[in-house]
Structure 1
Amino acid sequence: MTAVVSAPVTGSLHSFDISTGVDGPGTRFVAFLAGCPLRCLYCHSPDTQYRRYGRHTSADDLMIEIRRYERFLKVAHGGVTLSGGEPLQQPAFTREVLRRCHDIGLHTALDTSGFLGDRADDALLDATDLVLLDIKSGDPGTYRKVTGTGRLEPTVRFAHRLADRGKPIWVRFVLVPGLTDEPANVDAVAAIAAGVPTVERVEVLPFHRLGAQKYAALGLPFPLADTPAPDEALLRRARAQFRNHGLTVY
């Protein structure tokens, strides 16, 4: 009998990095996958929006890189985070890498907008220890304005599916003056997060313009080039709104 050799699982990888404290617990190997269905006005990595900006990579090859750091990541109480772009645009590749990391005892995190949450099958979620869920807005109209084409409802549906499976969630919300900072919008995001029982924390992330040079390098205009970063008073107000909903906030 001839053995059946399965084809390698491949995807489009933009880059990877080692980070501490910003992409999940501990020190982490963060793989940035290329391709995203959203066009967020504040995106600081436009070079990850299209799969053609990445390089064709197999799960085998990415795992070779990850295993070089395996012992260090475990000692540092960290793990592996798949980010983007949007990793759920490549669900088979994402599932395979998360599964292999999980099988060798590495903590796994998925950084996603949840917009493509329906593409995450049960096997992918079984291999995910933590979801970093980016909630762009709590108001559907503002969500469309922020993302270009996105809808809020898939993210909310995905959050509740995660909760039903007992998956821990860290909510991320980017505070942008004049775009996402309206009190009613912040309260709407807080209400969504407070209604999901497995949300462990909320990270209110101040908008910044650090990605402006990437837009210039790609010959693209940066939509929020004239938007300032939120001041401390605005950050305190937004974080207080989340705390008023009983949430742990950073």
Structure 2
Amino acid sequence: MLGYIHSFETFGTKDGPGIRFVVFMQGCPLRCLYCHNPDTWKKNGAKYMLTPLEVFQELDKVKNFVRGGITISGGEPMVQPEFVLELFKLCKENKIHTTIDTSGIFLNEKVKEVLQYTDLVLLDIKHINPEKYKELTTVPLEPTLKFMEYLAATNKPTWLRYVLLPHYTDDEKDLIEWAKYASQFKNVERVDILPFHQMAVQKWQDLGIDYQLKDIEPPTSAEKEKAETIFKSYGLPV
């Protein structure tokens, strides 16, 4: 079995607890307007074709300073659940902490099996309004909400992520509704508000993809504090 892989990060500090080995998988059905990895969209654009064992061996090379564990990101990791499952089985045999960074777009029996070997899920709920979610991502919101509800039902430790994008995800009413929804789940250990940035512009240009957000400024400190205050008011661990 071969995995379609975009790249590795050997000193990840923003993808779960501790210093982590991050695997960026190739392939994603979403087309988020603010995506910072548009070069991972097409599965056949992979830079590496590796077996689970070969990826584990890459992790093993840096195990002396990667004390946090492994995070599978993307792209969308659950495009390749069979590969992630076999890799995570190797990790659990070696007592390595496992994390998935996902949009929650897929929930089937194979994905549920992957989650049995997953210690932590980083779930991006990118918007709470279904119409705005689809405008932002091109896919429906409902699968992600079902995924969240499954994580809650299985008491899977979860960190929620929310990209704060001016004019798209910063409306006060939407922030309140998002916070109300997220606050009902006891398995949510943390919420990260991620400010929109323009660091992916060059990637979009190099790929010849129209980038609709080129004139959008990152959120101000006041805008970030407003979102944080709303989320905290609903008891969320921001």
Computed over aligned residues only, the root mean square deviation of the Cα atoms, in angstroms, reads 1.3
2:53 aligned with 1:60: yes
Alignment length (residue pairs): 237
User: Residue 19 of structure 1 corresponds to which residue in structure 2?
Assistant: 11
Report how far residue 120 of structure 1 moved.
Answer: 4.6
SS in 2 for 1:121: helix
**Runs of 4+ with deviation above 6 angstroms:** none
CA contact (8 A) 2:12 2:22 kept: no
Superposed CA deviations along residues 135-177 of structure 1, whole A, max 9, x for unmatched, are 11011011001001x1111111111211221211000000000
Residue range with higher mean Cα deviation, 209-218 or 56-65: 56-65
Residue number among 89, 111, 114 corresponding to 1:121 in the alignment: 111
2:66 aligned with 1:73: yes
Residue range with higher mean Cα deviation, 21-30 or 111-120: 111-120
Report how far residue 56 of structure 1 moved.
Answer: 2.0
2:144 aligned with 1:175: no
Superposed CA deviations along residues 58-97 of structure 1, whole A, max 9, x for unmatched, are 11211110111223223xxx00000000000111011111
When normalised by structure 2's length, the TM-score is 0.96
The residue identity in structure 2 corresponding to 1:24 is: G
User: Residue 199 of structure 1 corresponds to which residue in structure 2?
Assistant: 188
CA contact (8 A) 1:91 1:119 kept: no
Q: 1:120 to 1:215 in 2, by over 3 A?
A: same
Residue number among 179, 184, 192 corresponding to 2:173 in the alignment: 184
List gaps (5 residues or longer) in structure 1. 1-8
Superposed CA deviations along residues 116-141 of structure 1, whole A, max 9, x for unmatched, are 13365332111100000001101101
Question: Structure 2 matches for 1:1-250, cutoff 5 A?
Answer: 9-54=1-46, 55-74=48-67, 78-118=68-108, 120-148=110-138, 150-249=139-238
Superposed CA deviations along residues 157-210 of structure 1, whole A, max 9, x for unmatched, are 111211221211000000000011111111222122112210011000000010
Q: 1:245 to 1:121 in 2, by over 3 A?
A: same
CA contact (8 A) 2:10 2:22 kept: yes
Q: 1:202 to 1:120 in 2, by over 3 A?
A: farther
CA contact (8 A) 1:156 1:192 kept: no
SS in 1 for 2:166: coil
Report how far residue 19 of structure 1 moved.
Answer: 3.2
CA contact (8 A) 2:24 2:75 kept: yes
Residue range with higher mean Cα deviation, 180-189 or 65-74: 65-74
List gaps (5 residues or longer) in structure 2. none
Report how far residue 106 of structure 1 moved.
Answer: 0.7
- Structure 2 CA distance for aligned equivalents of residues 106 and 52 of structure 1: 29
SS in 2 for 1:117: coil
